Structure 1
């Protein structure tokens, strides 16, 4: 897994903090810090199409001719697969990036928090590894969903969550494409099957629901609720054991 970090931050102190924190993840062989700079043009010179996945941590409010959002657009024009993490002190910039269809992996709000930084970084590195594994083994994780004479073949990781159907013995499988696929199975049997195909991806968050932790945006333990990245809300068990397991999975820590 080859990864290149690129940091563009105009505050020297913040830039140094980010570089110091990245040392946890850098091995100087397959995972490197290519450049840490305040100059957008220097960033662009390092963004290339090669085997290494680029992760750009960009300050949105740069004191330059272009801001971080415009810089992200230029980066994506060079290498569409570059992962973007925005750094900002102003929440309203998130709307600007959405309007330009940047779709960053995450936003880091100033003043930076180490725990939040590590949380996003672990999630991103885990996702990159999963994608690279899929490219090497394209048929790994394929699951057959069938009911009423129809059969769908889906990768386990494109499934966001699974719920019991109103008809006993059937499930509704939800995907990132917004599909709702009916599958004949019981929830516990489905969880066992998924764990055989791709272990430790799904967790039972409620008596009638399985969830893929990668797609979890937030949890509310008091309300017993999960919000997915697509805005869908799911019930979450109030069991401390279940909630701790969900936290571990979201952080990329297997049981």
Structure 2
């Protein structure tokens, strides 16, 4: 599980880093402090360039930017749907705004005594890690929003996803059907560790790949399906599939 921080105040940022790194040194080595950002755009850029899902985020509310912590949280959820978000702030009166922005915060920590902050931060890490490990043992479900309803689809049933000819839409190709929904292809990888970008227009479920035609740049999947892989993504796909395909 990754942890990411966004705090504009250097002293507070260093303090949060210290609490987290001290805990990680003596505890769960599967947790990684991936980023400590000074502004929201630095964090967003990191998420756009790195495959991150179900991460834990510690965000200041007042980031001295044109984007506050609540707005940043909403943008994080666009990329990392299952994000665990914790706000750390001097402004206790802003607690109620977490409901207005509908960001489903894990906790709201006030910057006060070091001991109190440390306990709350560590508690959040423990809870987030437990939920992360639990979800990894459960059947992975993807929520797809159609015009009329929200559909729960097992990730293992998704073969690949492609951009739709209809603007702002993508198509999920399942083992026995297809679904067209609103979305961006660049955000799909974060929904599952098994989803991998293989083309400008395609994301493939690596667990459903049966073979890869390197010469013709075609990915063959279960249910006699196929999609394309571009030269840019081929080596990355082959590396990932070396484990899947043996």
Calculate the TM-score normalised by the size of structure 2. Answer: 0.50
TM-score, length-scaled by structure 1: 0.48
Query: Which has more helix, going by share of residues?
Result: 2
Q: Which has the higher contact order (CA 8 A, sep 6+)?
A: 2
